[in-house]
Chains A and B, each alone.
Chain A
Amino acid sequence: MSECLKFSYLVEGENFDGAGAASEDTKARLKRLGVSKEVIRKVAISMYEAEINMVIHANGGKADVMICPDKIKVVMKDTGKGIENIEQAMQEGFSTASEQIRSLGFGAGMGLPNMKKYSDSLDIQSQVGVGTVVTMEYNI
């Protein structure tokens, strides 16, 4: 779709201080466009979760954001270790994060459930040892 705006972000792995920069920038852009605050909240929360996941589990990756007149599409792609059992990962409270990461306040097992809850469609493609692609869509 040519009338859509596209933005790409590189998400650094293991950088907990900088984590959230892509979702924050996206949030600012949506505010500038005048998108409703309900939609902004959904995008900000779910994209932040996906971003944090890439930082914690996949040593970073790439975030592509496409803003179209009627919808927003966020694709988060990494070449990390992949998810063994997606169904299990979707359960609230399930996490494979280390103690050290939990001590930083992450890894509560709410990432994927929140991504589902705060998006209008969620698709996860993952292959162990190859990587994960998370696609989230939102209606404006």
Chain B
Amino acid sequence: MFKSVLIDKTICNGCINCMKRCPTKAIRVVDGKAEINVARCINCGECVRVCQKKAIHPNFDSFENINKFKYKVAVPSAAFFGQFGNVQDLDTTLNSLRNVGFDDVFGVARGSDVLTALTRQALSQGKLQKTCISSSCPVCVELILMCFHGLKENLAPYIPASHIAAKMAREEAIKKTGLKSEEIGVFLISPCPAHVAAVKENFYQNDSGIDGVLSVREVGIKVMNLRFDEVDIKANYKASSLGLSCAISGGEVEGTGLDRVVDVDGMENVVKFLKELEDGKHPELEFVELNACPGGCVGGVMNVENGYFAKSTITRLCREVMKGSRNVTDFADKTYDYYTIADKWKVNNAYYKLDEDFAQAFVKMRKMEDARQQLPGRDCGMCGAPSCKDFAEDIAQGKANIQQCIFINSDDN
């Protein structure tokens, strides 16, 4: 399994901030160092955000990888355009990518336009299960498949805009250059560790031909070192303001053109909302957009700029696009399976099920209860588990010993 975040054990001091924050309780502190249970990790990057020591880093592809290809195409996420508040227009930001080593550029926002058109049409024809939940945020999809199994059928069947854009970019590059597909390298520039993992693990079950996922931060710093007046405008920015606004929470919802819609951002808010949705509250909703990061993709952990400032920049650029004459969009003119996951969404049992076998799960739950009765319920984290409840589960699973509890140990002394 791919590790979306890496812990530098020479820096980690064993504080429990990341462990406490992890929404799927995937982190334990073992021998004074944080460890991630990859099977339970949904790649949200909350641990990266909260680590005071900066010991946890997102895992993405090296920029040097682009040099393996004859023709290099950058596919920057819409959030990328929010990183340079001093740059007044989209064309400069887009073309700056040529100056750092790419031959061509193709914005993810163009994929968002296509995805918006697809979603809007399917919703109006009643082809998506109500309440339809967007599949654009891979963290939220993983969260549903791990913790909210009752909502699996509500997930939209689409691959994300970045994957659609990557496919379109490759086709366009082949047409333009006449090169073979393997000579063309298509690289996403993403703010999101989950998008890196999604490509590495083919999470969206559709070969989108992405050759690597680079970080907005790494590429953005290269761009910041350029002199923007030297950027040669060869390609024009092509996407609607709606496509661009998908970097911000609410952008996707806006694109549906429906009234009964909601957008939720931030991990804790998403968890709370999914609980309500699974319990059957808000049955009137037609479409739900979820963003694990605060403010949407502009809040991703692989960005450079403050998410709220990036949001303000994107909003300003959206107004520019609307004013201009090129508020154009691409069409969704391919077959259904070009845009969708190959198979159905599959639930992940790593979080809830104590055991695949019902009888064994029963035995483990009893052990867990016995342990819980003895534990103080202080959730101090000193045992290395995020709460007494999680520690009790670790005991039941045979992964921990009750003597690791400092309260129980001190009683014995």
Which A residues lie at the B interface, using CB under 8 A? Answer: 3, 5, 7, 24, 28-29, 31-34, 37, 40-41, 44-45, 48, 69
Q: Report the bound CA distance from A29 to B361 in whole Å.
A: 10
Those of B111-158 within 8 Å (CB) of chain A: 149-150
Contact partners of B275 in chain A: CB under 8 A? 24
**Do the beta carbons of A34 and B355 come within 8 Å of each other?**
yes
Residue of A nearest to B349 (CB): A34
Chain B residues with Cβ below 8 Å from A48 are: 279
Known contacts being A5-B365, A41-B150, A69-B359, is A32 close to B280, with CB within 8 Å?
no
Interface pair A32/B369, CB less than 8 Å apart: no
Provide the residues of chain B in CB contact with A5, threshold 8 Å: 362, 365-366, 369
What are the residues of chain B within 8 A of A69 when measuring CB–CB?
Answer: 358-359, 362
B interface, size bucket: 10 to 19
Inter-chain contacts of A32 with B (CB < 8 A): 352-354, 361, 365
Q: Which residues of A contact B349 (CB under 8 A)?
A: 34
Residues of A within 8 A of B354 (CB): 32-34
Q: How far is the CA of A40 from the CA of B150 in the complex (A)?
A: 9
The A contact surface, by secondary structure, is: helix
Tell me whether B356 is interfacial, beta carbon within 8 Å: yes
- With contacts A5-B366, A32-B354, A48-B279 taken as known, whether A37 is within 8 angstroms of B149 at the C-beta atoms is yes
In angstroms, Cα B281 to Cα A45, docked, is 11
Q: Which 6 A-B pairs have the closest CB atoms?
A: A31-B352, A33-B361, A34-B353, A32-B354, A34-B361, A32-B352
Cα A5 to Cα B366 with chains together (Å): 7
CA gap between A31 and B147 in the complex, in Å: 9
Residues of A within 8 A of B353 (CB): 31-34
Bound-state Cα–Cα, A37 to B352, Å: 12
Distance of A108 from chain B, by nearest CB (Å): 13
With both beta carbons as reference points, the residue of chain A lying nearest to B364 in the complex is identified as A32
CA of A29 to CA of B389 in the docked complex: distance in angstroms? Answer: 12
Shortest A30–chain B CB gap in Å is 9
Cα A44 to Cα B280 with chains together (Å)? 10
B358 touches A44 (CB 8 A): no
The distance in angstroms between the C-alpha atoms of A31 and B355, with both chains bound, is: 11
Candidates A29, A37, A41; contact of B365 at CB < 8 Å = A29
Per the bound structure, the CA–CA distance linking A32 and B366 in Å amounts to 12
Please name all residues of chain A whose beta carbon is closer than 8 Å to the beta carbon of B150 when the two chains form the complex.
37, 40-41
* Given A5-B365, A33-B354, A33-B361, 15 extra CB contacts under 8 A: A3-B362, A5-B369, A7-B369, A29-B365, A31-B149, A32-B354, A33-B365, A34-B353, A34-B355, A34-B356, A40-B150, A41-B150, A45-B279, A69-B359, A69-B362
Q: Which residue of B lies closest to A45 (CB)?
A: B280
- Chain B contacts of A28 at CB under 8 A? 352
In the complex where A5-B369, A33-B354, A34-B353 touch, is A44 in contact with B362 (Cβ < 8 A)? no
Closest Cβ of chain B to A89, distance in Å, is 22
Q: B23-49 interface mask toward A, CB cutoff 8 Å, 1 = contact, 0 = none?
A: 000000000000000000000000000
Q: Which of A31, A34, A44 contacts B279 (CB 8 A)?
A: A44
Q: How far is the CA of A37 from the CA of B147 in the complex (A)?
A: 12
Distance, CA A37 to CA B149, complexed state (A): 8
- Between A and B, 21 residue pairs with Cβ closer than 8 Å are A3-B362, A5-B369, A7-B369, A31-B353, A32-B352, A32-B353, A32-B354, A32-B365, A33-B354, A33-B361, A33-B365, A34-B353, A34-B354, A34-B356, A34-B358, A34-B361, A44-B279, A45-B279, A45-B280, A69-B358, A69-B359
- Please give, as numbers and ranges, the residues of chain A lying within 8 Å of B362 by CB-CB distance: 3, 5, 33, 69
- Alpha-carbon distance between A29 and B280 when the two chains are bound, in angstroms: 19
Bound-complex Cα distance A3 to B279 (A): 29
User: In the bound complex, what is the Cα–Cα distance between A7 and B366 (angstroms)?
Assistant: 11
B248 to chain A, nearest CB (A): 31
A11 to chain B, nearest CB (A): 17
- In the bound complex, CA of A44 to CA of B275 (Å): 12
CA gap between A40 and B275 in the complex, in Å: 14
Measured CB to CB, the closest approach of chain B to A39, in angstroms, equals: 12
Residue on A with the closest CB to B368?
A32
Q: Report the nearest B residue to A34, measured CB to CB.
A: B353
Give CA–CA (A32, B362) in the complex, Å. Answer: 9
Measured in the bound complex, the distance between the Cα atoms of B353 and A7 in whole Å is: 19
Please give the distance in Å from B362's CB to the nearest CB on chain A.
Answer: 6
Distance in angstroms from B34 CB to nearest chain A CB is 24
Q: How far is A54 from B349 in the complex, measured between Cα atoms in Å?
A: 34
Whole-angstrom CA separation of A41 from B277 in the bound complex? 12
Least Cβ–Cβ distance between A16 and chain B, in angstroms: 14
Q: Complex formed: what's the CA distance from A5 to B361 in Å? A: 11
Instruction: Kindly report which residue of chain A lies nearest to residue B353, judged by CB atoms.
Output: A34
Q: Which residue of B lies closest to A140 (CB)?
A: B358
What are the interface flags for B342-358 relative to A under an 8 Å C-beta threshold, 1 for contact and 0 otherwise?
Answer: 00000001001111101
A45–B351 CA distance with the chains assembled, in angstroms: 22
A34 and B354 alpha carbons, distance in the complex (Å) = 8
Q: How far is the CA of A37 from the CA of B148 in the complex (A)?
A: 10
| Nearest chain B residue, comparing its CB with the CB of A4 | B362
